Homo-oligomer: A and B are copies of this chain.
């Protein structure tokens, strides 16, 4: 069904991977048992103190079940879609009849709201039926469609139920009849990319090539001249959904529609829109063999991760437009680093990995996952960060308007609640990101305890049991179960943070350097594997002091603590306030210690630093330097855990004393 393209490997589907992991089980259980039910309550406006979602009510009103007005953002429908997608993944690996009955009911509601022609969007149906497709720039119609298509695919995969899938095929067919280059069709595309990657998924599930072509149409059309988004704005009378009156000419760079996608070399504009688009571009390159699309993907990847990415895997330096700003502009305090953007970065990395097994992709995927994404969720599963700062001064977040967007504590739910359901859907399908496979290679991208059923392209079937206490410890054991011996390569990612300090043993024997090959960050062990073979990988989990490229002004003279994939931070609760007044020696030695009292247990880093002495100051604001500081113990905790112990200052980048 898949065309000959550039795709080299397939991910091992998460429904072939059973997670058994000390670190992740807590999170995936939290998503299953708390986040998904909590979000259902949120969609139904049952969370006290949180802003109402109204998402379900919008569908009920559109379906004619009740009277009322649309409420919420124009893209409110997508919250239900992302929840359904997460439920689809969850049911896939954890059947739950009660949850499935609730989801079936929600799907019935969605389909009841759908128009006879296939169209579905409660905002336009309730509020402005005559304005359908008149403001793609602002109104997220295709974006919402895309999310519901993703939900339909996930729910079909998870339950085998076609109801939503069929409904979304009708919607996609209708969209295909509206958009395109043919005469009489609307030659447009959405202001917020999403439909493109969703149509690829729909194509993969249904085999219907029209969906793939429609996705390619949207990608190819984007940024062509005359610019559709500008022309549409002109045609609409220069109005905006978001502002009253006549508005200023929009900048299509915000929507990555400033030039055709193949000409884009720098990540610009709204960061979530960007990575969703790059994901679809990689999908299309993989499936259609489009080298020019792949070349653009590589340039954009390179720009994003080597010039515009926070050490936590966050992207988007400014809250103005939730956007990229420019190369090496990575302020820690006024940062955006939206959770959804990091999730989109993971999607993009995952697609690129299927084209090329290069650990640049899996290293970044891991960085974003273990830091920005996990850190966005409170340990109660009910509070989330939208913005993921690298430096927090709670008083500034409250009292300096330029930092109001940076919250010092996670919020219960958002009026614009894109992030929490996005976390739910990625963690519900986490198994998908661990392995890749092709004819004769099994790739291990992530080190997560699990048992995977892998079928090689050659036909050989192998069960891979991965045991590890990662990310706390660097020992990973892979046990292979095979019905019969098979010749293939096992390709283990050697994370770049290990600086190559990795030891591999097969059945207890350390492999000599010439017993395997290293290529693009993967160690390929090729042999005739037999049942019971045991591969052990030991990665050096040193505490590292990381510095940023001097072009990043914000981090000059600073360093961050990192151990394995985890970035660490200092919190006020452990180190007192005025974290900016703490410095650490350039040759600091920090000791890793497992603290089982810390939020379910975690490795903390402990060392010595210096603290600027406040005691010699009285009321003055400035004085000739005395620079007195005293030695103090410094304790760092994983960034992903920050903000779980009350409000306080936090800092990732620490001053280095030379």
- Residues of chain A at the chain B interface (Cβ within 8 Å): 244-245, 302, 305-307, 309, 311, 317-321, 325-326, 329, 331, 333-334, 393, 395-396, 399-402, 499, 544-554, 556-557, 559-560, 578-581, 583, 586, 612-614, 617, 619-627, 629, 655-658
Contact = CB atoms under 8 A, between A and B. Distances in A.
Contacts of A624: 499, 544-547
Given A321-B401, A325-B400, A399-B325, A546 B580 contact: no
B306 A620 contact: yes
Contact of A545 (B307, B393, B625): B625
Contacts of A559: 625
Given A244-B244, A400-B317, A400-B329, A586 B553 contact: no
Nearest to A324: B399
A625 B547 contact: yes
A325 B396 contact: yes
Given A546-B625, A557-B612, 15 more contacts: A244-B244, A306-B620, A334-B334, A544-B624, A546-B622, A547-B623, A547-B626, A547-B627, A550-B581, A553-B578, A556-B655, A557-B583, A586-B625, A627-B658, A629-B658
Contact of A578 (B307, B309, B325, B551): B551
Contact of A656 (B321, B552, B623, B625): B625
A402 B627 contact: no
B612 A556 contact: yes
Chain B CB count within 10 A is highest, among A245, A402, A612, A624, for A402
A619 B360 CA distance: 13
Given A556-B655, A557-B583, A586-B627, A622 B548 contact: yes
A617 B552 CA distance: 12
Given A244-B245, A556-B580, A557-B583, A617 B550 contact: yes
21 contacts: A305-B621, A306-B620, A307-B621, A311-B622, A318-B402, A321-B401, A325-B399, A325-B400, A325-B401, A331-B402, A544-B624, A546-B622, A546-B625, A547-B623, A547-B625, A548-B621, A556-B612, A586-B627, A629-B658, A657-B658, A658-B658
Contact of A318 (B307, B400, B549, B560): B400
When A and B form their complex, which 10 residue pairs have the shortest distance between CB atoms, in order from nearest? A320-B401, A556-B580, A326-B399, A553-B580, A325-B400, A547-B625, A545-B625, A550-B612, A557-B655, A550-B581
B400 A550 contact: no
Contacts of A400: 317-318, 325-326, 329, 331
A23 to B, nearest CB: 23
Contacts of A560: 622
A526 to B, nearest CB: 30
Nearest to A551: B578
A550 to B, nearest CB: 5
Chain B CB count within 10 A is highest, among A302, A613, A624, A657, for A624
Contact of A550 (B325, B393, B578): B578
A319 B402 contact: yes
A363 to B, nearest CB: 11
B545 A401 contact: no
Nearest to A579: B553
A349 to B, nearest CB: 15
A621 B245 contact: no
Chain B CB count within 10 A is highest, among A311, A399, A560, for A399
Nearest to A624: B544
A622 B657 contact: no
A245 B244 CA distance: 9
Contacts of A553: 393, 396, 578-581
Chain B CB count within 10 A is highest, among A334, A401, A550, for A550
Contact of A614 (B317, B318, B550): B550
Nearest to A614: B550
Contacts of A309: 621
Nearest to A556: B580
Contacts of A626: 547
Nearest to A243: B244
A318 to B, nearest CB: 5
Given A319-B402, A549-B617, A617-B549, A326 B395 contact: yes
A468 B400 CA distance: 43
A542 to B, nearest CB: 9
Contact of A306 (B317, B334, B619): B619
A172 to B, nearest CB: 36
A480 B317 CA distance: 62
Nearest to A268: B399
A413 B619 CA distance: 39
Contacts of A245: 244
A546 B623 CA distance: 5
